[in-house]
Structure 1
Amino acid sequence: MNQDFPFLNDDFEELKDLLQQFENLKAGTSHSFLDEDSFELIIDYYDEHDELPNAMQAAEMAIEQFPYSSTLLLKKANLLIESKKYQEAMDLLEKASILDSTDINLYILQTDVYLAMNQHEKAAALLEEQIAVFEGDDKTELLLELADVYDDCEEFEKVFDCLRLALEHAPNNEEALHKICFWTEFTGRNEESIRLHTNIINEHPYNQLAWFNLGTAYQGLKLYEKAIDAYQYAIVIDEKFDYAYRNMGDAYIRLRKYAEAIDVLKKHLEIAKPEDVIYEAIGHCYERQRKYTQARYYYRKASHLSPGDDKLYYKIGIAYMTEANWENAIKSIMSAIKINKNSAEYLIALGQCYIELEKNKEGLIHLLAAVRIRPSSITTWQEFIRGLYISGFYDEALIQLDAAIQKVGHKPVLQYYLAGIMFATGKSKEGMLQLETALQMNVKHVKKLIELDPTLLQHPGIVELITRYKKTKKNK
């Protein structure tokens, strides 16, 4: 690299020479003179390389030679702050302020001392006072510093206020633009952000960060179409703006425009480092389009980048289940369970696969395991009792139904299952009574009974009873 940029070699040789001169000066073997700028370079070198004792010695020797240099006093104060000698640092900063009160670094270092001493109010008051004095870039920097102070003391609304003021003063400041994007979402002040960034864009229409922030503010209000328009402007200005593609993909997904989401997320993959969340999002879009082969492909790509993410293997399994590919579904779900053994959701899916393969014993073992993990969940009980019903274990289904009611209460779905068990065991009259009770509890949940056993719709009395209750509900 230095062969391409010869001046880097020159700078390095000059710094080496200065460091040698300093070592000679410390050893008393040289009478050479180091000017103020040279001492600054030496102090910065040692500070950057975490050689604090050498940096401090250089600062002390420099101040001895140049006692009226406010810059050197500030450098030593900074070293004292790093050494956690806060009072000494503050005394030195007071001295520096007498020599030069126009150096912004003086106030930033004083702020650092106040924060280190947990005196946030003093830090904020100091910065607020100086913000009224300074102009230009210095004013912006102080506003950003004040935002950090308010962040430190968890006054988050004031953080947003500082960043808004910074952007009103310097609309193209990248640090403020980056930070306000996060704080808009955190504080929920999307309307203010829209007004602010609209004003910036009116004055600076090629500010891609302002367009991006406008998009995120619209997205925060669930105005996805407007968000997409803003992201598209950002991409026109900077076609490699990867976060704009990412957010636009999310907006398209929210609008259920999966083909468009896939296009922009694939564009993100072309210009940015591959990420598991992007592959997963593309997989989700293909799954929503019922393109399960492509969905699995992208879920696998995500799992290669994040092999410890159990939900990715589960999603691959679900995609197989949707195609009734039970054997492959089991393999994928088992991979998820190896990572997360305590997921009732995974155990339910695994149990369902085994039951579909008529391996009812294995299926029921996993469904029971799901109940034991989440005994207060209606879903786990529902799936276990359904498994028992499908397997023909009606007496056990009744026992577990009673246990479920004890744990989760008398839910409508359990009442429908009770009716189903009565019909399955030939107790049609009792079944009709239980079904009527279930319909009185919740007509909508009758679909759970039909899912449990579609053949019940062949029973004229059942159909007539359901139809009557549905009509009664509609008339109400």
Structure 2
Amino acid sequence: MNEHSEEQDEVLATVRRFERMIAEGEPVFFDLADFENIIDHYTSTAQFDKALQACEAAVAQYPFSTELLIDRAQVLAMRGEYQQALQQIDEVAGREPDSADVPVTRGIIATQQGDFAAAVGYFQQGIERAPDRDDIYFNLGLAYQQWQKFKSAARNYKQSLRINPDNDAAVQELLFCLEVSGRLEQNLEFFRRFTDEDPYSAIAWYNLGQAYYKAGQFGNAAQAFDYAIVIDPKFYEAHAYLASAFVSMEEYQRAIDEFQLSYEEGKPTAEALCNIGECHEKLRQWDPARRYYRQALDIDPEMDEAWFGIGVVLDAQEHWFEALHFYRKAVSLYEESGEYWLALANAEYQVGNVVSAIEAYDKATQVAPEMPEGWINWSAILYEQGNYDAAIDLMKAASELLPTEADLMYRLCAYLLAAGRYRQAYDVLENALLLDFDKHKLLFEFFPELEQQRALTRLIEQYRK
């Protein structure tokens, strides 16, 4: 991976030189390969305005390069300027009618316009003209994937990888399609075949490790990443994945050791430091956890996970008032996390901010309605305030939304009993017992005095298998 990172550094240096020349109004001269790298860098980071600027500068210097005109057409398409993109590609077709890039670019435009049948037709034309190009099979896979045809997408991603096993984007998309279609387990052999054919390929072991990891086979994943690292000790991504496999196996100290090897010496990434902080947090080592989260924020002050992590550490030490500041910052940076809103709501409640707690639980259930804790904790506040009807209504809404969550039904039953609505309570209890008998203990945890109610215990016994 060393060579790869050196190449990346060279590309970034070229990009910086290009940006400096543009900013200072200097004439821009680069060789064709440099321009291609600059354009690729901007498109891969979704900076399409800058990519177009680079295309214009490049075409001005190399007006007869069809590669640059194709790049320009693809960038225009990425910006949603489809008509201009198609005009540009028609011009290229006039110059080079047999070029595979002409139908490929038309296919990319059709994919972005949502015309997947046309896109597939164009990519198949491209394959007829250039059957050994992994990027065409990859784009054909993307078109099928967006068309929700995951099996066809997977088949083309596989072909892309047979041609170029180093195409990491194809690996990621293939794993996604296999996961979505529930076919990952039966396709592990596809990834194993690469390691059989070339047992000294670090990439092949790394890809196999990712497949095992996604399939939840963390021990096998760790072994595969380990082989990749033996072959290439500076394969930083493999160290990071190995660390994640250890986290999944709750081997946090081993994970820390690997995360510390997941970056170039002396150049830690915010992500690695945050992950190390989280491992210390899991080990209840509060001081180092907080220190690593802080170091992550020194590198990336916008890292919501690190803000949240410090909040969790303070929360665990019952410093709820201090934790609030960090939770609020985390949700301001990433409002779509139910976990963040739940933690914020709990801390607000602990310091007596009941109204703010209810607002945060409301938000948690909006962004993550599938999390029962949000509904239960919110209803508990209403119940404690004596607002039984509101607590009951909330639990009814939640159990309709999540009909397989027995916890919600048992809580609803408890509230109905407290409100004296026994007939409704027993109806709900029967449904809960059918759904998950063992969880009836939740009822007694919530209301210990209910164990003395004969009618209730008799009903429960009827459902004991």
Give the deviation of 1:245 after TM superposition: 1.4
SS at match of 2:262: helix
Could you tell me which residue of structure 2 aligns to residue 415 of structure 1? 413
Report the AA paired with residue 415 of structure 1: C
Q: Which of 214, 232, 252 is matched with 1:238 structurally?
A: 232
Give distance in 1, aligned partners of 2:342 and 2:31.
Answer: 66
Matches within 5 A, 1:45-444: 50=57, 52-53=59-60, 55-56=62-63, 75=65, 77-78=66-67, 84=87, 86-87=89-90, 89-93=92-96, 107-111=99-103, 115=107, 121=121, 124-125=124-125, 127-128=127-128, 131=131, 142-151=132-141, 153-154=143-144, 161=155, 164-165=158-159, 168=162, 173=164, 175-176=166-167, 178-188=168-178, 190=184, 194-269=188-263, 271=265, 273-310=267-304, 312-336=306-330, 339=333, 349-350=343-344, 352-353=346-347, 356=350, 359=352, 362=353, 364-370=354-360, 373=363, 379-380=373-374, 382-387=376-381, 393=385, 396-404=386-394, 407-408=397-398, 411-419=409-417, 421=418, 440=430, 441-442=432-433, 444=438
Change (3 A) 1:185 1:298: same
TM-superposition CA deviations, 1:171-201 (whole Å, max 9, x none): xx5644x344223313316468643443443
Give, in whole Å, the separation in 2 of the partners of 1:194 and 1:374: 37
Count of matched residue pairs: 372
Overall identity of the aligned pairs, in %? 21
Q: Residue 221 of structure 1: CA displacement?
A: 2.4
For 1:108 and 1:210, how far apart are their aligned partners in 2?
29
Higher deviation after alignment, 312-321 or 219-228:
312-321
- 5+ long unaligned stretches in structure 1: 1-40, 60-74, 95-105, 132-141, 423-429
Relative to 1, partners in 2 of residues 1:290 and 1:79: Cα closer, same or farther, differing over 3 Å? closer
- The amino acid of 1:317's aligned partner reads G
Deviation at 1:208, TM superposition (A): 0.7
Provide the rounded CA distance (Å) in 2 between the counterparts of 1:356 and 1:117: 54
In the TM superposition, residue 207 of structure 1 has moved relative to its aligned partner by 0.9
Rounded to whole Å, the distance in 1 between the matches of 2:143 and 2:273 is 38
State the partner residue of 1:36. Answer: none
Tell me the CA shift for residue 237 of structure 1: 0.5
**TM-score, reference length from structure 1:** 0.61
- Cα distance, 1:242 vs. partner? 1.1
**TM superposition shift of 1:325:** 3.0
Distance 2:341 2:31 in 1: 64
The answer on whether the counterparts of 2:416 and 2:422 sit within 8 Å (CA) in structure 1 is no
Cα distance, 1:404 vs structure 2: 3.1
Q: Confirm or deny: 8 A CA contact 1:114 1:122 kept in the other structure.
A: yes
Offset from partner CA, 1:368-389 (integer Å, 9 cap, x none): 3246546886755543453366
> Following TM superposition, by how much is the alpha carbon of 1:122 offset from its aligned partner in structure 2, in angstroms?
5.1
Cα 1:465/1:333, change in 2 over 3 Å: farther
Gaps of 5+ in 2: 1-29, 37-54, 74-86, 111-117, 400-407
Q: Deviation at 1:238?
A: 0.3
Shift of 1:158: 5.8
Aligned to 1:71: none
Q: CA deviation at 1:211?
A: 1.1
The residue identity in structure 1 corresponding to 2:233 is E
CA contact (8 A) 2:221 2:242 kept: yes
Conserved 8 A contact 2:141-2:157: no
Q: CA deviation at 1:243?
A: 1.2
2:8 match:
none
For residue 50 of structure 1, what is the amino acid of its counterpart?
A
Per-residue Cα deviation, 1:87-137 (whole angstroms, up to 9, x for no partner): 55434436xxxxxxxxxxx64455557558867535533532554xxxxxx
- Structure 2 distance, partners of 1:355, 1:122, is 58
Name whichever of 291-300 and 403-412 sits farther off: 403-412
After superposition, the Cα gap between the structure-2 partners of 1:313 and 1:448, relative to the gap in structure 1 and judged at 3 Å, is: farther
Cα distance change of structure 1 residues 468 and 345 upon mapping to structure 2, 3 Å threshold: same
1:413 is aligned with what amino acid? R
The alpha-carbon distance between structure 1 residues 202 and 79, as it changes in their structure 2 partners (threshold 3 A), is: closer
Note the C-alpha offset of 1:232: 0.7
Distance 2:349 2:221 in 1: 46
Deviations 1:152-185 (A, max 9, x none): 64467566545645665x6xx5644x34422331
2: distance between equivalents of 1:112 and 1:436? 64
Q: Counterpart of 2:411 in structure 1: which amino acid?
A: V
Q: For residues 444 and 254 of structure 1, do their structure 2 counterparts lie closer, same or farther at Cα, with a shift above 3 Å needed?
A: same
- Higher RCO structure (Cα 8 Å, ≥6 apart): 2
Task: Give how far 1:246 is off.
Answer: 1.6
Q: Based on CA coordinates, which of the two structures has the bigger radius of gyration?
A: 1
Instruction: Indicate conservation of the 8 Å contact 1:416/1:446, yes or no.
Output: no
Tell me, what secondary structure is at the counterpart of 1:268? coil
Distance 1:468 1:320, change over 3 A: farther
- Coordinate RMSD, CA, aligned: 4.6
Q: Which amino acid aligns with 1:329?
A: A
Q: Taking structure 1 as reference, are residues 153 and 287 closer, same or farther at Cα in structure 2, changes over 3 Å only?
A: same
Whichever residue aligns with residue 52 of structure 1, its letter is V
Secondary structure of residue in 1 paired with 2:268: coil
Q: Distance in 2 between matches of 1:350 and 1:339?
A: 13
Q: Distance in 2 between matches of 1:355 and 1:216?
A: 41
Match of 1:38 in 2: none
- Give the 3 Å change call, closer, same or farther, for CA 272–250 of structure 1 in structure 2: farther
Q: Which amino acid aligns with 1:124?
A: Q
2:209–2:224 contact (8 Å) kept in structure 1 = yes
